[in-house]
């Protein structure tokens, strides 16, 4: 089982690798820069070399970079859209330099201006980024919880975006379990998990599924509220995770983005996943 966490790059980007080793991860996700700002410092050659060396020595694989929080590929605001496009291209470049094969991105919000225009802006941003950044990094589109004006909460929405990308070999899907449950995809009973994955297969195709964000959901089924919870402590519960881990989802890399609080540590969440997977 490929199991890991979203980990901090504080002090140095190469420090993320010993953190992953210390926590017993054999895969992990990270930001490549400050996720709450538009500006990014150029990666120094020495830090790139250090990261690549440590990653090779660790034998941890695969690794994922998540785009910054501010990025909104569906935004009708010209300045935000321009900055989002620039940030996406930068992340594709940075991933290539670091030897990271995947970049994960949220699809953003149309801010009330309509899904049709939002879809077009997302598609244009991805196609333009791929045209200007020619490498082998795969961009993974993450499903959303369906909060107001958000893009990509349904399998059909994700499929429609994928179908309009010119270079299809450079895109895939990141499936977030919290987001899916909040959007109305049942992931609790064995039958419900099978039904949801059958819908994914028929609408998108499981061959496009490259990563699972494994998170419980604090909010109710179909609530459209994006509130992550510790594994088994939310509305999906231990039963749901046991069934998911024994399905096709369990064969993909699993990244936890669970809360940081005093109720349970990252290590305890990893142990809970391993327990439920037995």
Q: Which residues are marked as active site?
A: 36, 66, 69, 106, 142, 176, 179, 213, 226, 228, 257
Q: What is the Cα–Cα distance from 163 to 201, expressed in whole angstroms?
A: 15
Question: Number of H helices and number of E strands within the chain?
Answer: 9, 10
Q: Burial level of 199, CB count in 10 A (0-12/13-18/19+)?
A: middle
Q: Write the CB contacts of 80 (distance below 8 Å, at least 6 apart in sequence).
A: 70, 72
Nearest to 26 by CA among 187, 255, 278: 255
Q: Write the CB contacts of 18 (distance below 8 Å, at least 6 apart in sequence).
A: 54
């Amino acid at each position: 089982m490929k199991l890991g966490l979203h980990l901090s790059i504080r002090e140095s980007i190469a420090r993320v690798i010993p953190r992953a080793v210390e926590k017993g991860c054999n895969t992990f996700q990270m930001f490549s820069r400050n996720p709450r700002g538009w500006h990014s410092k150029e990666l120094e050659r020495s830090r790139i070399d250090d990261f690549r060396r440590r990653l090779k020595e660790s034998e941890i694989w695969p690794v994922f970079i998540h785009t910054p929080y501010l990025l909104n590929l569906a935004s009708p605001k010209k300045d935000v859209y321009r900055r989002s496009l620039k940030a996406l291209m930068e992340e594709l470049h940075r991933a290539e330099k670091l030897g990271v094969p995947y970049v994960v991105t949220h699809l953003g919000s149309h801010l009330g201006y309509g899904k049709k225009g939002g879809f077009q802006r997302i598609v244009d941003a991805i196609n333009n980024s791929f045209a200007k950044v020619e490498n082998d990094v795969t961009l993974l589109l993450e499903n959303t919880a369906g909060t107001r004006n958000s893009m990509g909460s349904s399998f059909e929405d994700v499929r429609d975006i994928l179908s309009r990308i010119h270079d299809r070999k450079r895109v895939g899907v990141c499936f977030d379990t919290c987001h899916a449950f909040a959007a109305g995809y049942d992931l609790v009973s064995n039958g419900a998990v099978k039904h949801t994955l059958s819908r994914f297969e028929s609408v998108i195709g499981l061959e496009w599924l490259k990563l699972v964000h494994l998170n419980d959901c604090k909010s109710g089924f179909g609530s459209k509220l994006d509130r992550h919870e510790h594994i088994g402590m939310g509305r999906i519960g231990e039963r749901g995770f046991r069934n998911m881990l024994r399905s096709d989802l369990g064969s993909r890399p699993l990244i936890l983005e669970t809360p940081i609080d005093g109720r349970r540590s990252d290590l305890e969440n990893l142990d809970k996943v391993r327990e439920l997977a037995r």
